[in-house]
Amino acid sequence: MSSSAGISMDDTFLDKFMSYLKGLDQYQLEEFKLCLQSPQLMPENFPKIPWTNLKAVGPSNLFCLLSDYLSVPQIRDVTLCIFENMKLMSRCEEIRAEMNESTQALGLQDPGQEEPEVPEEETAHRRKYRERMKDKILLMWDSIPWPEGHIYLRHMTEQEHEELRSLLYPNRTGAQPETIILGGRAGVGKTILAMKVMLHWAEGSLFQHRFSYVFYISCHKLQRMRNTTFVGLLSQDWPDSQIPLTELINHSERLLFIVDGFEESAVSSTLERSPPCSDWYTPLPGDRLILHLLKKELVPQATLLITARDTQIAYLKKLLPNPHFIFISGFTEEDRGEYFIRFFGDQDKANAILRWLRQNETLFDWCSAPLVCWTVCSSLMWQMTRNPSFEMSTQTVTSIYAYFFSQLFTTAEVNLSDQSWPEQWRALCSLAAEGMWCLNSVFAKEDTAIEASFIDYLLRLNILQKVIDCEGCIAFTHQSFQMFFGAMFYLLRGTEGSVGGLPKFDEIKVFINGVFTDTNLYWHQIALFLFGLFKRDLARELEVSLHCEMSPRVIYALLDWTEALAVDDPAYIHFEFLQFFQCLCEMQDENLVQKVLNRLLEADIDIDKNEGLHASSLCLKHCPKLTRLRLSISSPIPQVQTRRERVVDFKMHQWQDICSVFCNGHMRELDLSNSKLNTLYMKKLCHELGSSRCKLQKLTCKSMSPVRILKELVLVLHCNPNLTHLDLSSNNLGITVSMMIFRTLRHPSCSLKYLLEKCSLPVASCRDLALLLISTHRMTRLCLGFNQIQDAGVKLLCASLAHPKCLLERLVLWFCQLSAASCRYLSNALLQNKRLTHLNLRKNNLGDEGVKFLCEPLRCPDCNLQDLNLSDCSFSVEGCRELADALRHNQSLKILDLGENDVRDNGAKELCEVLKHVNYALKTLGLEKCNLTHNCCQHLCSVLRNNRSLVHLNLLGNDLGPDGVNRLWTSLKKSTCQLQKLG
């Protein structure tokens, strides 16, 4: 462990070092940091500290940063050397005096060896505070309700202290972070880890040299407090009447605040606009105190350790200055294996269940939380005991939870009348659903409509638990329990929603609509339970065992909502189709899935796991009207090691189901971009695309991996006469693949009309491409941008471009490493080709000479070129002069883009002299980033006043100044100005 991560620092010198730096003003501190970058002032062979680390670090953490590179004596020597260089002689004398006193002691010390955790001599009030916090944390620990039968895997190893240290010293090559976020899903142990940090400090075994005081703040407890001051908050756990306020303020860099359960705070984007607060005596609501603490306004130099669920991570990244994130994963895969083996007591049975569980990736991920492991194991054990013909393959996440709760309530006894059960279930499930909408998981007993006897019953069953640091509050034992009962609320009889006054059916539709257009994983998991509970036998099981009343009519709310899927609504641009498909699979009802998907017109799916492949194969085959599909296989379709042939056959069967949608008679567009497919799966796909039943017209295959699988497209190009668009952009085709495809395109049965860019085509492939232009009567658009065509390739293409049989209308050659020589070939071709209307030569080094060549065909009265893009082509005023002269003779050019060239005011003047006349066809002129100033605006104004054809003018990125802009604005207001868009 590096010295910054350990405790190997001389506290005496640390305090003096801090006093030295705090005595510097802002400019002197900046100079001190700059001196640390000077090799002359640093030890020999010293690795340079990154300036980004030095610039960001404050005085309190500069010592920790230097400790990563230097020993304590070296830090002292460097500080002395820098102060001498800065002419701070009084500081130098202090350091020399200190060195004389401690040189011998420090000389005997190994600078690389970490000092043991020996508490410094402490005051009585600090000792009493540590003892009080130790008792508090141990009481909280003993109050954690572990359910009967749950196996607590407590791995107390000798490395635990090391792991806890690393939480607060995670950056071994930079400064110690002042704000650390412990993130992770519910139930994986974030709070327990935070409690251990507090406990080990209170016991005196960790962080004694680093932190004088550690404070533990519970967000949900703070939310229920009346307005309080920051001093009042810190005083709550203090054993005496007064806290050592002066010490806390003067040495705030030695304070650690543990903020537990950020998701329970009410900090929001609206609250962020609150004015800053640094006063410890201002009474504030709990959420305001949390906000000002986290934003480093109340205690800027303190270290923060914050626990938060993964759903809050994105928000915290925006809220906090330079946070350091540590993800807490909970049970590892090995831990889950150990848990199952110990629970079932039969290794073979446990391993069989684990193999199945790994295929259900959602449930396996949830099992990183220990209580989910207990829930899953208990449910499976009960089902195996009750049902000799139990089949693992029929289990879903919802069915496991439904049978778990069914068994709990079948065997338990509670003193409730038959008439009270439905009412109590509605109250509990409504509470869960309300918490879902309000992002609340802690509830005050008096705020619920649940009877006390029923609450006690739920506490005994470990469905609810008391909140250990919040008197009179309850919470669901695990977040997944709240999600299940929140979803179950919508299946219970009744018409009222849980919040907002909406009827239940309308609330369901609002919820489902939000789920699949949001990336909130919490809502996704609730939706999984909701769809799973649509399965009738599960609903009946819950009705009988829980004595509740379910409503079968709720399915109509789902069917009503799916009507919107057929509408081309912009709200569905970010629709989570794969999550939607996984929820549909949870229902295990193909007839219902078919009804839901019957009107689906388009889908966008990213498959990266077994579960995604499974859900897509089940759902896509029930989409008879699908017309557009984007399907990305972002990682190779996984295969399991055991029973390999059987698994391969099963995966191929799923892939076959996905491919079957291409032959539904309606599919017109397929995008496979960024997919990773092996040859076997690509062959199967192309076989379906080549079928006479396939009506596909547009196929996009950008960035495919491996590229060699694109050879299989030959089958499609030969057999599918409907395919007219093929996009192979961003693939390094190479000679072999490109020649095979180009030769296939020349086949009489191929109907392809368009071919696109970024294929890393070598010059050698241009010969086959040139032959393609004259051997097919269908190719009308060719986009070769971002390919190294070069002048030699353009020469080959232009030979065909000038041929009478060439029907090409659009040619894109941007960023193809062309020079003026290419313009000569293009000029000759354009003099003979009257069909080409669009030419894009952007981002090529053509120069004035190249522009001059291109202007020759533009001067011809029979030139049909309508769109010419010469942006970023390295020409100047001379090129503009040639273009202006060409425009005098041209009646066809409508779009001319000259952006990012050195046009200058004189070049703009040349163009304006022509365009100010009324008899030219040009409608769009691009002059973006052309080094124009206000001096050209008078000429542009003349064009705006007189030209009747120009409707679009782009002047972005030019310094026209206020005077130039005002001139243009005056011309725009003239009634004769026809301009519609000014950029």
Instruction: Report pLDDT for 648.
Output: 53
Is residue 770 within 8 A of residue 742, CB to CB? The reply is no
Amino acid identity for residue 420 in this structure: S
Is residue 381 within 8 A of residue 392, CB to CB? The reply is no
Q: How confident is the model at residue 919 (pLDDT cuts 50, 70, 90)?
A: low
Longest CA–CA span in the chain (Å) reads: 100
Query: Phi/psi class of residue 958: alpha, beta or left (left: φ > 0; alpha: ψ in -120 to 50)?
Result: beta
Q: Which whole number is the average pLDDT over 658-686? A: 90
CA pair distance 325, 306, nearest whole angstrom: 10
Is residue 200 included in any domain, yes or no?
A: yes
Helix (H) or strand (E) holding 309: strand 303-309
Is residue 304 within 8 A of residue 311, CB to CB? The reply is no
* Among 522, 544, 566, residue at a domain's last position: 566
- Between 150-154, 450-454, 614-618, the lowest mean confidence (pLDDT) is in 150-154
The count of C-alpha atoms lying within 13 angstroms of the C-alpha of 854, restricted to the half-sphere facing its C-beta, is 29
* Among 327, 360, 379, residue at a domain's last position: 327
Residue 183 has pLDDT above 60, yes or no: yes
Helix (H, G, I), strand (E, B) or coil at 859: coil
Q: How confident is the model at residue 14 (pLDDT cuts 50, 70, 90)?
A: low
Considering the domain architecture, whether residues 147 and 166 belong to the same structural domain is answered as yes
Q: What are the residues facing 240 on neighbouring strands?
A: none
Query: Phi/psi class of residue 592: alpha, beta or left (left: φ > 0; alpha: ψ in -120 to 50)?
Result: alpha
Considering the domain architecture, whether residues 265 and 342 belong to the same structural domain is answered as no
Q: What are the residues facing 391 on neighbouring strands?
A: none
Closest to 824 (Cα-Cα) out of 860, 852, 786, 803: 852
Considering the domain architecture, whether residues 390 and 411 belong to the same structural domain is answered as no
Question: Which distant-in-sequence residues (6+ apart) come within 8 Å of 447 by Cβ?
Answer: none
Is residue 588 within 8 A of residue 396, CB to CB? The reply is yes
Amino acid identity for residue 601 in this structure: L
Q: Which whole number is the average pLDDT over 54-72? A: 73
What are the Cα distances from residue 508, in Å, to 574, 587, 594, 892?
A: 20, 16, 20, 58
CA pair distance 307, 312, nearest whole angstrom: 10
Strands 981-982 and 952-954: parallel
Instruction: Report pLDDT for 101.
Output: 59
Compare 505 and 842 and report the one with higher pLDDT.
842
Residue 75 has pLDDT above 50, yes or no: yes
Residue 518 has pLDDT above 80, yes or no: no
Residue 100 has pLDDT above 80, yes or no: no
With a pLDDT cut of 90, the percent of the chain lying above it is 22
Is residue 111 within 8 A of residue 74, CB to CB? The reply is yes
Instruction: Report pLDDT for 169.
Output: 63
Residue 519 has pLDDT above 70, yes or no: no
Residue 661 has pLDDT above 70, yes or no: yes
The string of pLDDT tens digits covering residues 184-195 is 888 888 888 888
Q: How confident is the model at residue 636 (pLDDT cuts 50, 70, 90)?
A: confident
Q: What are the residues facing 897 on neighbouring strands?
A: 869, 926
Closest to 551 (Cα-Cα) out of 494, 593, 484, 496: 494
Considering the domain architecture, whether residues 137 and 280 belong to the same structural domain is answered as yes
Closest to 731 (Cα-Cα) out of 717, 716, 753, 710: 710
The string of pLDDT tens digits covering residues 706-754 is 888 888 888 887 788 888 888 888 888 777 777 777 777 766 667 676 6
Compare 797 and 221 and report the one with higher pLDDT.
797
Residue 11 has pLDDT above 90, yes or no: no
Instruction: Report pLDDT for 376.
Output: 94
Considering the domain architecture, whether residues 146 and 180 belong to the same structural domain is answered as yes
Instruction: Report pLDDT for 173.
Output: 45
Query: How many residues make up the chain in this entry?
Result: 983
Is residue 234 included in any domain, yes or no?
A: yes
Is residue 481 within 8 A of residue 232, CB to CB? The reply is no
CA pair distance 423, 505, nearest whole angstrom: 19
Residue 119 has pLDDT above 50, yes or no: no
What does the H/E/C string look like for 784-804?
CCCCCCHHHHHHHHHHHHCCC
Q: How confident is the model at residue 439 (pLDDT cuts 50, 70, 90)?
A: confident
CA pair distance 206, 116, nearest whole angstrom: 9
Considering the domain architecture, whether residues 345 and 322 belong to the same structural domain is answered as no
CA pair distance 110, 481, nearest whole angstrom: 54
Q: Which token pair is 846?
A: 């053509």
Compare 140 and 105 and report the one with higher pLDDT.
140
Considering the domain architecture, whether residues 181 and 247 belong to the same structural domain is answered as yes
What is this structure's pTM? 0.72
What does the H/E/C string look like for 599-614?
CCCEEEEEECCHHHHH
Considering the domain architecture, whether residues 147 and 280 belong to the same structural domain is answered as yes
Is residue 690 included in any domain, yes or no?
A: no
SS3 content of the chain, % helix, strand, coil (to 5): 50, 10, 40
Q: Which token pair is 795?
A: 């020469």
What are the Cα distances from residue 516, in Å, to 511, 526, 562?
A: 9, 12, 12
Chain mean pLDDT for the chain? 82
The string of pLDDT tens digits covering residues 863-888 is 889 999 999 999 999 999 999 999 88
DSSP 535-579: SHHHHHHHHHHHT--B-GGGHHHHHHHHGGGGS--GGGGG--HHH
Is residue 537 included in any domain, yes or no?
A: yes
Q: How confident is the model at residue 108 (pLDDT cuts 50, 70, 90)?
A: very low
Helix (H) or strand (E) holding 26: helix 26-35
Range of the domain at 76: 9-87
Considering the domain architecture, whether residues 141 and 181 belong to the same structural domain is answered as yes
The string of pLDDT tens digits covering residues 446-498 is 888 898 889 988 998 889 988 877 778 898 999 999 999 999 999 998 888 77
Instruction: Report pLDDT for 918.
Output: 60
Sheet holding 303-309, edge to edge: 213-218, 255-260, 303-309, 179-184, 324-327
Instruction: Report pLDDT for 580.
Output: 92
- Between 204-208, 676-680, 817-821, the lowest mean confidence (pLDDT) is in 204-208
Instruction: Report pLDDT for 531.
Output: 94
Is residue 946 included in any domain, yes or no?
A: no
- Between 23-37, 159-173, 445-459, 849-863, the lowest mean confidence (pLDDT) is in 159-173
Residue 650 has pLDDT above 50, yes or no: yes
Q: How confident is the model at residue 304 (pLDDT cuts 50, 70, 90)?
A: very high
Residue 971 has pLDDT above 90, yes or no: no
Considering the domain architecture, whether residues 13 and 161 belong to the same structural domain is answered as no
Residue 67 has pLDDT above 50, yes or no: yes
Q: Which token pair is 540?
A: 């009946």
Instruction: Report pLDDT for 412.
Output: 66
Residue 762 has pLDDT above 50, yes or no: yes
Instruction: Report pLDDT for 777.
Output: 66
CA pair distance 842, 844, nearest whole angstrom: 6
- Helices 521-532 and 397-411 cross at an angle (nearest 10°) of 70
Considering the domain architecture, whether residues 281 and 345 belong to the same structural domain is answered as no
* Among 327, 352, 387, residue at a domain's last position: 327
Q: How confident is the model at residue 640 (pLDDT cuts 50, 70, 90)?
A: very low
Considering the domain architecture, whether residues 354 and 412 belong to the same structural domain is answered as no
- Whole-angstrom distance between the N-terminal and C-terminal Cα of the chain? 57
Instruction: Report pLDDT for 62.
Output: 78
Is residue 34 included in any domain, yes or no?
A: yes
Q: How many domains does the chain have?
A: 4
Q: Which whole number is the average pLDDT over 660-666? A: 90
Residue 655 has pLDDT above 60, yes or no: yes
Q: How confident is the model at residue 161 (pLDDT cuts 50, 70, 90)?
A: low
Q: Which token pair is 651?
A: 């995966």
Question: Which distant-in-sequence residues (6+ apart) come within 8 Å of 137 by Cβ?
Answer: 195, 198, 199, 202, 216
Closest to 370 (Cα-Cα) out of 343, 406, 351, 348: 343
With a pLDDT cut of 70, the percent of the chain lying above it is 87
Q: Which residue has the tokens 């950008």?
A: 702
Is residue 968 within 8 A of residue 960, CB to CB? The reply is yes
Is residue 802 included in any domain, yes or no?
A: no
Amino acid identity for residue 297 in this structure: E
Is residue 337 included in any domain, yes or no?
A: yes
Q: How confident is the model at residue 824 (pLDDT cuts 50, 70, 90)?
A: very high
Asked if omega into 706 is within 30° of 0 (cis), the reply is yes
The string of pLDDT tens digits covering residues 378-408 is 999 999 988 878 888 889 999 999 999 998 8
Is residue 610 within 8 A of residue 585, CB to CB? The reply is no
